[in-house]
Amino acid sequence: MNDSARKAFALRLDPSLHAALERSAATDLRSVNAQIEVLLREALERRGVKLAPPLTLKRGRKKNGDGGN
């Protein structure tokens, strides 16, 4: 999945909420953006909202024959 497959939007947060998200994300070794996504998925799951599993990104270098340089 590339970044263009993700929906981007502005989100205004109270500074204390953002600080709490930064601490929580650091504890879980995630970015704030990834932490917000995880927390939203957990909250929706608790409410019984069904979601498709998150798309995963392939990490690392491309192997020979994958169209890389």
Is 26 part of any domain? Answer: yes
Is 46 part of any domain? Answer: yes
Comparing 27 with 64, the larger pLDDT belongs to: 27
Domain count, the chain: 1
The CA-atom distances, in angstroms, between 7 and each of 22, 43, 46 are 21, 19, 23
Is 69 part of any domain? Answer: no
Is 49 part of any domain? Answer: yes
Is 1 part of any domain? Answer: no
**pLDDT tens digits, 5-53:** 788 999 999 999 999 999 999 999 999 999 999 999 999 999 999 988 8
Residue span of the structural domain in which 33 resides: 14-54
Question: Residue 48: which region, alpha, beta or left (left: phi > 0; alpha: psi -120 to 50)?
Answer: left
Is 24 part of any domain? Answer: yes
Q: Which are the contacts of 34, defined by CB distance < 8 A and separation ≥ 6?
A: 25
Is 32 part of any domain? Answer: yes
